[in-house]
Structure 1
Amino acid sequence: MARSQETFNKKEIQNKKDKKRKDKEKKMLERKEGGKASFEDMIVYLDENGNQTTTPPDHSKRLEFNAEDIVIGVPKREDLPPEEKIRQGTVTFYNDSKGYGFIKDSTSGDSIFVHANQLTETITEGNRVSFEVEKGQRGPTAVRVKKD
């Protein structure tokens, strides 16, 4: 007697393929019967708090404003009044022999380069200083540096 050419493993693989194909056909039929969602079902509105809702907003609560009043971006440092251009900070590093150092700005926390040519008085590490910032070749540079 000859044995069957189909082993148990081959039968299992074929059964899995058949089941997968039937599931795929079933899903395809469900999708066709369900139809597409209408455009109205896909629309979402935002209320005044930024939450998503399906109801349109009430136009009586609508606020009118002038588009020119909206300021986009941050004002440039040149636009600031002169008293705001003078900054305060602490000398975090200063090498007297090489003539340069760094000042940590107390308001923004930025580390700003300072050269000995821009000093009005001698400074050391830990000194509180007032200074102005200008754009240098490699970034912001402190100028007109004075001790507080």
Structure 2
Amino acid sequence: MSSSESFSKKEKEKKKLKKKQDKEQKKEERKNNTDKGKSLEEMFVYVDEYGNITSTPPDPTKKTKINVEDIAISTAKYEANPEDLIKSGIVNFYNTDKGFGFIRDLKTQDKIFFHVNGLIDAVKENDKVTFETEKGLKGMNAVNVKLQK
């Protein structure tokens, strides 16, 4: 039994030594492949006309002149129509004691929360209403809720 323990110890020592040698070898490889000490020109990379990275500088004869005034960086202005902001839906749930409820939007079928403070007309469940939405703490809230005529 003592011989197997000594064999096991020898194997562990071999593994330790092998690990140490591998670590030293990797350290030497990193040291040899480092970018330190290279000149600035050796560290430059270029992008060709197709967007690929290359080590050769671009050909100055292929250079094209671009007028700065021709560059347009902007987004189209969005003017919201007041009719787009007003949505219609059906009161899906309304708790009069707690003063809140949910409206199911007729177009998107989303449930939108509303509070009694956002009501213009008195509503009850299954009433058709028109409303506007605004961003709340937990999602979209319906405001200016009116009965649909």
TM-score (structure 2 length as normaliser): 0.56
Gaps of 5+ in 1: none
1:114, distance to aligned residue in structure 2 (A): 4.9
**Which of these residues, 102, 118, 121, is aligned with residue 120 of structure 2?**
118
Q: Output one character per residue of 1:39-67: Cα deviation in whole Å (capped at 9) or x when no partner.
A: 336x77896xxxx7315998749795334
Q: Aligned residue for 1:40?
A: 44
**CA RMSD, Structure 1 to Structure 2 (Å):** 4.6
Q: Normalization by structure 1: what TM-score?
A: 0.56
Extract unaligned runs of 5+ from structure 2: 37-41
Percent sequence identity is 33
SS for the counterpart of 2:44 is helix
Q: Mapping of 1:1-148 within 5 angstroms? A: 7-36=6-35, 39-40=43-44, 53-55=52-54, 60=64, 64-67=70-73, 69-70=74-75, 80-95=80-95, 100-107=100-107, 109-115=110-116, 118-119=120-121, 123-125=124-126, 127-133=127-133, 140-147=141-148
* Secondary structure, aligned partner of 1:102: strand
Contact 2:129–2:145 (8 Å) recurs in 1: no
Are the aligned partners of 1:132 and 1:145 in contact in 2 as well (CA < 8 Å)?
Answer: no
Q: Residues of 2 paired with 1:136 and 1:7: CA distance?
A: 72
Q: How many residues align?
A: 132
1: CA distance, partners of 2:35 / 2:92: 65
Alpha-carbon separation, structure 1, partners of 2:25 and 2:136: 69
